[in-house]
Structure 1
Amino acid sequence: MLTTTDAFSGMSVRDVPEAVAFWRDRVGLEVEDGPIATLRLPGGAQAILYPKPDHTPADFTVLNLVVPDVAAAIRELAEAGVEPIRYPDMGQDEDGAMRGRGPDIAWFEDPSGNIWSVLRT
């Protein structure tokens, strides 16, 4: 069995300062700036944001933020200029959330095109 002492995730971005500003100023998460930035996640976890000159956005959800109320989170993000992705045939409501097919969830893109979500578990 592997012995570990910690774990973290990471995602590539096209521009680290742009990513730092987005996650800090629009989403409201704590970010430690640097050439490779560290996104401090609720609960103590972290993810690194690293530059990749030929960045291609992930075509899957790279980060899920658990919230107590998806509709309220969508409204808060809209006030910061962040709108949900609307997928065809996903049955999303007028707010942009999918409900009743698993957890209530809404998806968004960061400035690099990576997909992330807010969801209620």
Structure 2
Amino acid sequence: MLGQSQAFSGFSVDDLDAARRFYGEVLGLEVAETGEGEMRMLTLRLGGGASVFVYPKEQHTAATFTILNFPVDDIEAAVAELERRGVTLVRYPGFDHDDKGIVRVGNGGPAAIAWFTDPAGNVLAVLQEN
């Protein structure tokens, strides 16, 4: 029934202005803002024509799971650039992170992954495929 729909995902943040700066200036995504006052929202334009809806929520609770994954060709270069732009990587207990904060995975999944958060605490990742 919905197989032909142009579906999109969305998530909340506690500060729309901080989100706009982070996703636009730090991550370099195309960010469109619409609405006014309490009806302001962002649309993040991703590769391949995909988009993600970002909306403010007063009682925002950060996602404790990865909400966006960004595939990259060179994870070490991507991590270095994120850190240069002020992003701090998240190190989760139980994972074997290298000195750069990268987890080498394999076994049918991505070859490597590194997690970080947006200003609202939502979890994001860069990953390098096999």
TM-score range, shorter chain: over 0.9
Deviation at 1:5, TM superposition (A): 2.8
- AA at the equivalent of 1:91: D
Structure 2 gaps of 5+ residues are 35-39
The alignment's C-alpha RMSD in Å is: 1.2
Extract unaligned runs of 5+ from structure 1: none
Partner SS for 2:90: coil
C-alpha deviations, 1:90-116, integer Å up to 9, x for none? 001111110034311000000000001
Q: What whole-Å deviation, never above 9, does each CA across 1:38-63 have from its counterpart, x for those lacking one?
A: 00111110001101110000110000
The alignment-based identity, stated in percent, is: 48
Deviating 4+ runs (over 6 angstroms): none
Residue number in structure 2 paired with 1:98: 103
For residues 47 and 69 of structure 2, the distance between their equivalents in structure 1, rounded to whole angstroms, comes to: 11
Query: Does the CA-based 8 Å contact 2:105-2:113 persist in structure 1?
Result: no
On the 8 A contact 2:31/2:44 being kept in 1, the answer is yes
CA 1:85–1:2 in 2, change beyond 3 Å: closer, same or farther? same
1:107 to 98, 103, 115: 115
Tell me how far 1:67 sits from its aligned partner.
Answer: 0.5
Give distance in 1, aligned partners of 2:114 and 2:47. Answer: 18
Aligned length: 121
Structure (1 or 2) with the larger CA radius of gyration? 2
Q: Aligned letter for 1:92? A: H
Offset from partner CA, 1:1-35 (integer Å, 9 cap, x none): 43533011101000111101000111111111231
